[in-house]
Structure 1
Amino acid sequence: MKIAFVGKGGSGKTTLSSLFIRHLTANEAPVLAVDADINQHLGAALGLDDAECAALPAMGAHLPLIKEYLRGSNPRIASAETMIKTTPPGAGSRLLRIREDNPVYDACARPVTLDDGEIRLMATGPFTESDLGVSCYHSKVGAVELCLNHLVDGPEEFVVVDMTAGSDSFASGMFTRFDMTFLVAEPTRKGISVYRQYKDYARDFGVALKVVGNKVRDEDDLEFLRAEAGDDLLVTVGHSDWVRAMEKGRPPRFEMLEAGNRLALQSLQNAAEDSYAHRDWERYTRQMVHFHLKNAESWGNERTGADLASQVDPAFVLSERYAEVSTAS
């Protein structure tokens, strides 16, 4: 299942993403983690030092390889150069699976060892000064969107994506790729205003959205979030000595995380699993195609010089049955 963490800058979404990843690993679940934030901090939150974070390969730098691999033998795609971030899979396309080895992971993913196991970590790469005036951050996350479109996941597998802050997470169709979106909100007017904005987008496309209240100090904070988020408020997280130690670079073993926060993380997992159990694969594929056609008409056809609508395979529906069939080569 695919899970996104979103929220305004400073809300704690990267910290909660990393805690959730550690929790899943402690529960022996296979995890592919993706740092898709404009500020790349997930690696550090998972315990990597500065040199290790700097050494993470940027997915955007490997976009030609990603396109060529995912294209496979799909006859509807004339060349890798005509693929854009929303290009959907079809007959002949190669799909990515969480537990397999493939050239995309070889180039873009790195193993990260946690207390209770190992995960794969991928990163878009930071938005640097050299990008100013020549590209936007959405071009950076295009590699993530293309991979998510071609990634088939099973019920006991997890893709966890730390998204960019604010409403930029809804700037493309990528927000429809997730079984559950956790919006991390502080008990403030600004924190809850981001939730209202996200809720409107999510409702229009049937996206499952739950609020995780963070930095909740007292009953007044809790009542504020309840009044503003209603039934969308799933759990709240308060002060954590474990997190404070992690932020100083010397966390104790994950099993020492406070009991209340461990229960909150389990609630997140339960909500994600319940949402995945109700995934409509046909609608999931249809939404993918919708955004591809939209992008093709607005800019893709002109940029590539091709009719990108012809890339859509009307008979193809991504489904769980592909999860265990590897086409890696």
Structure 2
Amino acid sequence: MKIALTGKGGVGKTTLAALLAQRYAAQGMRVYAIDADPDANLASMLGVPDPEAIVPMVEMKALIKERVGATSQDLGTYFSLNPRVDDIPERYGLRLGNLRLLVLGHVPRARGGCACPENVFLRELVSHALTLHDEVVILDMEAGVEHLGRGTAAGVDWMLIVVEPSRQSLETAGRIRRLAGDLGVPRIAAVGNKIASPEDRAVLEQALPGLPFLAWLPHDPELRAQSLRGRGLEASAGVAEVIANIMEKLQG
């Protein structure tokens, strides 16, 4: 199962990514959790004791130069567009039981897009992860589909757009939906978060017609407090039930 989560910053996509990753791992499945958001918070959501000590993949310049043949500092140098990355998740992923965490880091955008060595390396790594057969891959993305290309999008089983009752969140969700559809992502669905009333749910459904909602997560002050403490998440019985229902729908 390969699941990409995206949405406007602050809507709760990293919280959902962490809850899904933990639940799959608790069921004995081998999980790769990939933090592809430049504002990386997945480690703290998973309860990593010192998340700031994690070196993002993009900052491993010696490794990138070894595999790609150059870094962005090597101007005018030819480099490989298909570097070897098949050993990276196991060798460099932070082990948390059945779960491996990879933090990709941020590549500054260049004019006209970036085909720099670091970006090539990260894209190839994501592409490889999406071809793994026996593992669950949870991809926590920024508010878009930047880490996916037309060749890799088909490897995503589900793209979940996390959305809250706000105009900015809805605008971002609509844009992501169009981009993901253009790339050929097979299945796109939404998860409503921070739902405080039936009116909130109705607003989201009306604003995103035709986009199926897999679940509705209530506004949960305790879960928010846990995320702020950065010591990992422990879902309430109600939230755990919603997560289980999401997983059942994804599998079906």
The TM-score with structure 2 as length reference comes to 0.79
Number of the residue aligned with 2:74: none
Identity level (%): 26
Number of the residue aligned with 2:100: 120
1:141–1:5 distance in 2 versus 1, CA, 3 Å: farther
Equivalent-residue separation in structure 2 for 1:81 and 1:149 (angstroms): 21
One-letter amino acid of the structure 1 residue matched with residue 101 of structure 2: L
> Does residue 149 of structure 2 align to residue 173 of structure 1?
yes
One-letter amino acid of the structure 2 residue matched with residue 18 of structure 1: A
Number of the residue aligned with 1:60: 58
Number of the residue aligned with 1:110: 94
> Does residue 243 of structure 2 align to residue 269 of structure 1?
no
- Matched-pair contact (CA < 8 Å) for 1:4–1:182: yes
State the Cα distance separating 1:202 from its structure 2 match: 2.4
Aligned equivalent of 1:218, options 192, 197, 200: 197
1:41–1:103 distance in 2 versus 1, CA, 3 Å: closer
Matched residue SS, 2:29: coil
Number of the residue aligned with 1:227: 206
1:27–1:242 distance in 2 versus 1, CA, 3 Å: farther
Larger Cα-atom Rg = 1
Number of the residue aligned with 1:247: 227
Q: Aligned residue pairs: how many?
A: 239
Matched residue SS, 2:208: helix
Number of the residue aligned with 2:80: 83
Equivalent-residue separation in structure 2 for 1:103 and 1:122 (angstroms): 9
Number of the residue aligned with 2:139: 161
> Does residue 149 of structure 2 align to residue 149 of structure 1?
no
What is the 5 A alignment of 1:306-317?
A: none
1:216–1:137 distance in 2 versus 1, CA, 3 Å: farther
Equivalent-residue separation in structure 2 for 1:18 and 1:141 (angstroms): 25
Q: CA RMSD in A?
A: 3.4
- Matched-pair contact (CA < 8 Å) for 2:25–2:31: yes
State the Cα distance separating 1:271 from its structure 2 match: 3.6
Matched residue SS, 1:150: helix
Equivalent-residue separation in structure 1 for 2:58 and 2:223 (angstroms): 31
The TM-score with structure 1 as length reference comes to 0.62
- Matched-pair contact (CA < 8 Å) for 1:124–1:141: no
1:81–1:20 distance in 2 versus 1, CA, 3 Å: farther
In proportion to residue count, which structure has more helix?
A: 1
Matched residue SS, 1:39: coil
State the Cα distance separating 1:259 from its structure 2 match: 2.9
